[in-house]
Amino acid sequence: MSSDLFNNHIFDDRQIIIKFINLSWKYENSSKYAIRNINLEIRKGDVILITGPSGSGKTTICRCINGLIPHFYRGEQDGDVYVNELNTKDYDIPVLSTTVGFLFDTPSNQLFCSTVEEEIAFGLENLCLPPIEIRKKVKEGLKFSRLIGNETKSPHSLSGGQQQSLALASILVMQPDILVLDEPTANLDPIGTKLVFDRIIELSRNKEKTLIIVEHKVDEILPIANRMIVMNEGNIILNGDPKNVIKELINRNDVQIQLPDVTELAFELIKRGYNIDKIPITLNEGVELIQNLIKNKEIVISVNDGGVYLKNKEPRMLKDNVAIKCENVEYVYPDGTKAISNLNLEIKEGDFVAFIGQNGSGKSTTAKLLNGLYKPTKGRILLFGEDISKKDTADISSIVGYVFQNPDDQFFAKTVREELEFGPKNLKLPSDEIKRRVETVAKELEIYDYLESSPFALSQGLRQRVAFASIMTLEPKILIVDEPTTGQDYLRAKTVMDICKSYNDKGKTVIVISHNMNLVAEYCNYAFVFKDGNILLKGPVREIFSQEEKLTQASLEPPMITKLFNILSKEFNLPNNIISVEEAISVLGVASVSKPQ
C-alpha cells in the first residue's frame, strides 16, 4: 500500500475545513456501529470522492458533516466532528447549513415548494436575507441550474435531472463553503446524470468550494477528484490520491466497486504481468494506454475478422413461441399526453430483453401496457397469441409479473411469508400450492430464514429480494423488472441481475428496464431503445451498442469499453463491437498471456 494512502501529512497549507476525530456513530435501535473510529481531515477546495458498498457508512459520514447527526438522527456518538472549527455537537443544523450544503439522493424528497423560484428562495428566506437580495440570488440559481423560463413551474413537473440541478442550486445560493453531495445521480437517467455531473464539474473548476461527493458511478467524478475515499463496513479502508487508491483496489477482494472499464482493463493487463505505471481512468487515457502497448508491440493483435467480434455471447435458449407481440399500439394518458405511438414489437419466449432509454421515453409505459395496468388506446397486445386488451391486471398477473423499482411501495404484511402468499392468494390457489410456491421461491432467493420476519425490518437488499419473491410466487411466464439497478451499488445491482438471469435460465422471458449499460451488456441478449414513445433501435445488445451515433439520438452512450474499441478500431485491426472487459482481453490476444512477450 502506498505510504500516502492513510495520512494527510504531505505538505499542504490549505486550511483544514472538516475534521473527524475518532468518530463512531450507532443509530438508535441498531446493534452495530454505522461508522467506527473515523479520523479524517478535509481541506478547503478538496474534491473528494467517497465510494464503497451500500451500508458501508458513506451517507452517515455526510450526515455528520452537516449536523443531521447528531441533531436529527438519534443514536450514540463517540468522538467529534469539526466543521469550520465548529463542533457539530454544539451547533444545530440551521447554523451549520450556512457552511454546509447537503444534496440528497432522491430529488423528489428534497423539493417541497410550489414553484421553482420559491424552492431556490426557501433557504435564503430562512437566512433572513432582504427580499431584493433573495430575488437577485434566485436569478443566479436559475441561471446555474439552467432553469430560466421555468420559474413558476412546479418543481415536480421537471425531469429528474432538472429537479436535482434545482436542488443543487437551492443550496448553492446559500453560499456554503462545503457541498456534500450524497449520491446525487443515484435516481437519474443518463441525461439527468449528465446534467448534474456537468454542474458538479462546473463547481469543481471554480475551486472555491469543498466538494464531498458520494457516488457509485465513479467514471465522471474520478477525473475531477483530488482524493478518493473507499469505505467498507463503517471504516475508511482507503484514502488518498485517486490513482493510488485505484492501484490499491486491484489487490483487494473485500470490496467491489464498479470502476471505469478502462481501469478494469488496465487491472486485467496488470494481472497478466503488464507493467502499467499510469492507471487510466478516462476514455482518452485508456485509448492512449492501448495505443502505446500496441505501438510498443507489447500487445500483438491477431484478430482478423473484418473488424467485427464474431464470438457469440452464451447461446440463447430461445423458443419458437412469440411471448409478446404489440401491434400498432398507442397509449394516451388521461390528461391527453401521448406516451406511446404506433409501437410494434415482438419478444420471443425465453429471451432476456432490455428496455433502455431516457425517463419519459415510453419504457415503463410499454411495460405497464404489457401487464394490463394501462390499456392501449389503439392497437392490440398479444401474450402468447392471446389478446389482453380487455383483460385486467389481476387476470394477467399470472402471466406477466411486474417487479416495481421500490419494494416499499408494496409491503403491508406482518411477515415475509404473508407478503409472498399475497399474490397466489389473489389467484385463489389452494393452500398447499401456495405453501409450496412460497417455500420454493424463498429457498431459491435465499430468504427462507426470514419468512417469519417483518419485511419492514429487513435490509434494503433483502427487501428487494422479497419484492422479487412476491412476484415469483405468481410463477409468471414473463417477468418485467423496472429499474432494478437504480440507486444500487455494483454488487447489489449484479445480485439483482443474477436473480433475473436465474429466472431466465428456467426458460422464462425476462424484460429489464435499466439505465446501467454495463449490466445490460453483461446480462441481456436483446435490447429495445426507446425514444419519444417509440422504438428507435432494436437488436442484439452487441449490435445496439456498436451504433454509438444512433444511440446518441436517444441521449444514451454505450459502455466505455465499447467506446474504447470503437476508437481503436479506426486505427488498428480491432473489432468495434466489444461489450465487456473480458471480450476486450480476448481480442487483444492477452487472455492466456501471463507475461508480455
Partner 1 sequence: MSLLDLFKYKKKESVIHNLDPRIRFLWFFAVTLPAVAWTDPIWLTLLFLGVLATGLLSKQSLKSILTPLVYLSPAFAFLLIFNLFFYGPSGISPTVGTQQYFIGYIIPKIGNFGPYGRLSVESLVYAIGAMERLMIIALAGRLLLTFISPSEITQVMSKLKVPVEITTAISVAFGFLPVAANQVVSIFESQKARGWKVNTKNPIKALKLYIPTIVPTIVRAFTRAEYLAAAISSRGFGYIPGKRTSMYEMKMRKNDYIALVVLLVFLVFSELVGSFVFNIANYNFTSCMIRNLLHSPC
Q: Is the dihedral of CA 92, 95, 99, 105 positive or negative?
A: positive
Instruction: State the nearest-atom distance from the C-beta of 133 to partner 1, in Å.
Output: 9
Nearer residue to partner 1 within complex by CB, 111 or 212: 111
According to CB under 8 A, which one of 456, 459, 505, 570 is a site residue for partner 1?
456
According to CB under 8 A, which one of 291, 398, 454, 495 is a site residue for partner 1?
398
According to CB under 8 A, which one of 42, 47, 83, 111 is a site residue for partner 1?
111
299: contact with partner 1 by CB under 8 A? no
Instruction: State the nearest-atom distance from the C-beta of 355 to partner 1, in Å.
Output: 16
Show Cβ contacts of residue 132 under 8 Å, excluding neighbours closer than 6 positions: none
- The residues in 227-286 that bind partner 1, with binding defined as CB under 8 A, are none
What φ, ψ does residue 19 adopt, rounded to 5°?
Answer: -140, 120
Strands 227-232 and 210-214: unpaired
- The residues in 413-432 that bind partner 1, with binding defined as CB under 8 A, are 422-423, 426-427
Instruction: State the nearest-atom distance from the C-beta of 550 to partner 1, in Å.
Output: 32
Position 250, amino acid? I
Instruction: State the nearest-atom distance from the C-beta of 151 to partner 1, in Å.
Output: 8
Conformation bin of residue 200: beta by default, left when phi > 0, alpha when psi is -120 to 50: alpha
CB-count exposure of residue 85 (10 Å: 0-12, 13-18, 19+): exposed
Q: Evaluate whether 145 touches 168 at the Cβ level (below 8 Å).
A: yes
Binding part of the chain for partner 1, among 170-178, 266-274, 439-447, 528-536 by CB under 8 A, reads 170-178
Q: What is the number of residues in the chain?
A: 597
Binding part of the chain for partner 1, among 25-33, 166-174, 284-292, 517-525 by CB under 8 A, reads 166-174
Residue 107: asked if its preceding bond is cis (omega within 30°), the reply is no
H or E stretch including 329? strand 322-332
94: contact with partner 1 by CB under 8 A? yes
490: contact with partner 1 by CB under 8 A? no
- The residues in 462-481 that bind partner 1, with binding defined as CB under 8 A, are 470-471, 474
Binding part of the chain for partner 1, among 64-72, 81-89, 432-440, 505-513 by CB under 8 A, reads 64-72
Q: Evaluate whether 221 touches 239 at the Cβ level (below 8 Å).
A: no
Binding part of the chain for partner 1, among 63-71, 202-210, 547-555, 567-575 by CB under 8 A, reads 63-71
According to CB under 8 A, which one of 59, 88, 263, 371 is a site residue for partner 1?
371
Q: Evaluate whether 201 touches 207 at the Cβ level (below 8 Å).
A: no
170: contact with partner 1 by CB under 8 A? yes
- The residues in 329-358 that bind partner 1, with binding defined as CB under 8 A, are 334-336
Site size for partner 1 (CB under 8 A) = 74
According to CB under 8 A, which one of 412, 430, 594, 595 is a site residue for partner 1?
412
According to CB under 8 A, which one of 54, 84, 88, 110 is a site residue for partner 1?
110
Convert residues 114-153 into a mask of x (bound to partner 1 by CB under 8 A) and - (unbound).
xx-xx--xxxxxxxxxxx--xx--x-------------x-
Cell digits of residue 178: 462545503
Cell digits of residue 588: 487483444
SS3 347: strand
169: contact with partner 1 by CB under 8 A? no
Strands 227-232 and 47-51: parallel
Compute CA distances 505 → 355, 495, 499, 500, 587, whole Å.
19, 15, 10, 9, 28
Cell digits of residue 227: 482524493
What φ, ψ does residue 160 adopt, rounded to 5°?
Answer: -55, -45
Which regions of 104-232 does DSSP assign to beta strands (E)? 178-182, 210-214, 227-232
Nearer residue to partner 1 within complex by CB, 232 or 473: 473
- The residues in 520-559 that bind partner 1, with binding defined as CB under 8 A, are none
